[in-house]
């Protein structure tokens, strides 16, 4: 399986994925956390490719894969992955039925989930569910005080296995605010209340990457690792030694020309040549995920030098400053990654675009082929 049909097609703009590094990252993170890992490979493996990431993280020791929805889960199953897969976003009842039939695990927390399970649960192949508690994220999950009753009901439905108990941290990336401690305290109270009712789901889980490293208490039985596996440290914490990013983004210069002083570049002539100079064209635009941000904040690495993009990023192409260069049509440039002594990191780009590393990676469109190296 490929991430998209484009992975198999020729293209002069592509992403390299160091899958060996992803495996190593997983291995190091599991060792540091000391508990089993669910590898979050949703959103095309945070832009790194479903298959590349699922294979690499399982090789690195992940026991579970985490996806956003049924379609992502099916994609992985069709590619031959038979590890347990947890669907992590809210689903409507008909999808839950399909998910159970296809042997996915999923979160439940509402009465209509219980009603649906009663209808479709099948003793021959039990639906494995995780009760999700909202301890502060305000997204999905029951209130902590509802947990015992729901867990008891779930445990009594024939054909349902209450396999997990979970919550999600809203602010674990920032340990200077007390929110995560409060969430952990609420979750702990819920675990105790369930235990008092004689219920102990097999896997209790809460932490994402920053949760795992800022709050060792929040690791419980399993950590749901995402961004750290892709090598991106949190705002205020370093990752274990040896964990590194694994994605670089490349393009070939498809044309160059010399434009005179005063000539506009790209739509609306937002950039005007201050002097005569060479301008290069790259086959990458906002459709590929190279954002159309104002004020020429984008840059790329050319022959080991950082060069600005000029004017607006177009849908499929953009222009770069090649003043001082001869016609280097066909040369490779780096949009994200290292060339010579220079690096444009995912965090550099996130800062320019006013977003985070997650969105930069996930935003690289499926039209850009992923090449596993």
Q: How far is CA 136 from the centre of its chain?
A: 22
Nearer to ligand PLP by Cβ, of 132 and 312: the residue is: 132
> Is 227 one of the binding residues for ligand PLP (CB under 6 A)?
yes
Nearer to ligand PLP by Cβ, of 233 and 337: the residue is: 233
Task: Identify residues 14-33 at the interface with ligand PLP (CB under 6 A).
Answer: none
Catalytic residue among 182, 202, 261, 267: 267
- Member of 13, 40, 41, 265 binding ligand PLP (CB under 6 A): 40
Asked if 338 is an active-site residue, the reply is no
- Look up residue 105 and give its two tokens: 């695990």
Catalytic residue among 42, 97, 132, 163: 42
The closest alpha carbon to 147, from 170, 128, 166, belongs to 166
How far apart (Å, rounded) are the C-alpha atoms in residues 217 and 9? 47
Nearer to ligand PLP by Cβ, of 217 and 371: the residue is: 217
Contact range with ligand PLP by CB under 6 A, out of 75-83, 147-155, 225-233, 298-306 = 225-233
- Member of 26, 88, 127, 334 binding ligand PLP (CB under 6 A): 88
Contact range with ligand PLP by CB under 6 A, out of 222-230, 241-249, 274-282, 325-333 = 222-230
* Shortest reach from residue 168's CB to ligand PLP, in Å: 5
Nearer to ligand PLP by Cβ, of 226 and 289: the residue is: 226
* Shortest reach from residue 38's CB to ligand PLP, in Å: 8
- Look up residue 86 and give its two tokens: 């947890």
Asked if 182 is an active-site residue, the reply is no
How far apart (Å, rounded) are the C-alpha atoms in residues 257 and 71? 45
Contact range with ligand PLP by CB under 6 A, out of 74-82, 95-103, 224-232, 313-321 = 224-232
How far apart (Å, rounded) are the C-alpha atoms in residues 369 and 355? 23
**E strand or H helix that includes residue 64:** strand 64-67
- Member of 19, 23, 190, 209 binding ligand PLP (CB under 6 A): 209
Q: What residues form DSSP beta bridges with 265? A: 271
- Report the SS3 class of residue 214: helix
Q: Quickly count: other Cβ atoms within 10 Å of residue 145's Cβ.
A: 12
> Is 104 one of the binding residues for ligand PLP (CB under 6 A)?
no
Q: Quickly count: other Cβ atoms within 10 Å of residue 43's Cβ.
A: 18
> Is 208 one of the binding residues for ligand PLP (CB under 6 A)?
yes
- Member of 163, 224, 312, 370 binding ligand PLP (CB under 6 A): 224
> Is 245 one of the binding residues for ligand PLP (CB under 6 A)?
no
> Is 69 one of the binding residues for ligand PLP (CB under 6 A)?
no
How far apart (Å, rounded) are the C-alpha atoms in residues 288 and 112? 40
Contact range with ligand PLP by CB under 6 A, out of 148-156, 208-216, 288-296, 349-357 = 208-216
Exposure string over 310-337, b if 16+ CB within 10 A, otherwise e: bbbbbeebbbbbbeebeebeeeebbbbb
Task: Identify residues 128-187 at the interface with ligand PLP (CB under 6 A).
Answer: 168
How far apart (Å, rounded) are the C-alpha atoms in residues 48 and 362? 8
- Largest interatomic CA distance in the chain: 79
**Mode of pairing for the β-strands spanning 160-166 and 203-205:** parallel
Residues known to be catalytic = 42, 267
- Where along the sequence are the contacts to ligand PLP (CB under 6 A)? 40, 88, 168, 208-210, 224-228
């Amino acid at each position: 399986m490929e991430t998209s049909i484009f992975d198999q097609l020729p293209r002069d703009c592509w992403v390299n994925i160091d899958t060996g590094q992803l495996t190593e990252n997983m291995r190091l993170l599991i060792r540091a956390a000391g508990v089993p890992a669910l590898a979050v490979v949703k959103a095309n493996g945070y832009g790194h490719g479903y298959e590349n990431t699922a294979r690499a993280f399982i090789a690195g020791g992940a026991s579970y894969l985490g996806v956003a929805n049924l379609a992502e889960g099916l994609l992985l199953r069709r590619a031959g992955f038979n590890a347990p897969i947890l669907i992590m976003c809210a689903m409507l009842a008909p999808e839950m039925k399909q998910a159970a039939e296809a042997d996915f695990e999923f979160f439940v927390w509402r009465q209509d989930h219980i009603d649906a399970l009663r209808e479709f649960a099948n003793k021959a192949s039990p639906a494995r569910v995780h009760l999700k508690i909202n301890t502060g994220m305000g997204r999905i999950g029951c209130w902590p005080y509802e947990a015992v009753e729901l867990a008891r009901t779930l445990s009594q439905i024939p054909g349902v296995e209450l396999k997990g108990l979970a919550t999600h941290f809203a602010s674990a990336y920032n340990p200077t605010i007390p929110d995560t401690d409060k969430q952990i305290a609420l979750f702990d109270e819920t675990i105790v209340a369930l235990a008092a009712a004689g219920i102990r789901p097999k896997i209790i889980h809460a932490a994402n990457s920053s949760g795992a490293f800022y709050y060792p208490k929040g690791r419980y039985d399993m950590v749901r690792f995402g961004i750290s596996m892709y090598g991106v440290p949190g705002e205020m914490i370093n990752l274990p030694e040896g964990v590194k990013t694994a994605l670089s983004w490349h393009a070939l210069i498809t044309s160059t020309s010399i434009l005179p002083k005063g000539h506009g570049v790209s739509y609306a002539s937002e950039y005007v040549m201050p002097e005569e100079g060479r301008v290069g064209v790259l086959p990458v635009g906002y459709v590929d995920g190279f954002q159309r941000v104002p004020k020429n904040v984008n840059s790329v690495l050319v022959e080991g030098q950082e060069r600005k993009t000029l004017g607006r990023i177009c849908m499929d192409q953009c222009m770069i400053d090649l003043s001082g260069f001869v016609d280097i049509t066909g040369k490779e440039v780096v949009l994200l990654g290292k060339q010579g002594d220079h690096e444009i990191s995912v965090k550099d780009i996130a800062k320019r675009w006013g977003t985070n590393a997650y969105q930069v990676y996930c935003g690289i469109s499926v039209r850009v082929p992923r090449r596993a190296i």
